[in-house]
Amino acid sequence: MTSQSTWGKANAIERAMQQVPKGATVTGTSCDEVNVGIGNYRYICTVEYSESPVGPGAAGSPAPAPAPGQP
């Protein structure tokens, strides 16, 4: 999700976080600061997220984890 703000980086991140689906896990954030005039900046921030469990044997995975010694 991406959002922007003229009030500051924290505000742009907060606005983007409000768009993340409920139950999703935030996996990263990044921001760009853009000069839009003399001493005026716009902050454009992106919040990355994951909606599904990651990794083998994650909760809710449809495939069972392999037994020890099994490939």
Q: Using an 8 Å Cβ cutoff, are 21 and 69 in contact? A: no
pLDDT band of residue 54 (cuts 50, 70, 90) is low
Statement: residue 22 has pLDDT above 90: yes
Tokens of 58: 């994650």
What's this model's pTM, rounded to 2 decimal places? 0.67
pLDDT digits (tens, 9 = 90+) for 28-50: 999 999 999 888 999 999 999 99
Amino acid sitting at position 54 = V
Q: Which residues neighbour 24 within 8 Å (Cβ) at sequence distance 6 or greater?
A: 49, 50, 51
- Could you give the percent of the chain with pLDDT greater than 90? 66
pLDDT at 52: 73
Tokens of 13: 């991140």
Round to whole Å and give the CA distance between 66 and 53.
Answer: 17
Q: What is the mean pLDDT of the chain?
A: 84
- Continuous segment of H or E residues that includes residue 2: strand 2-5
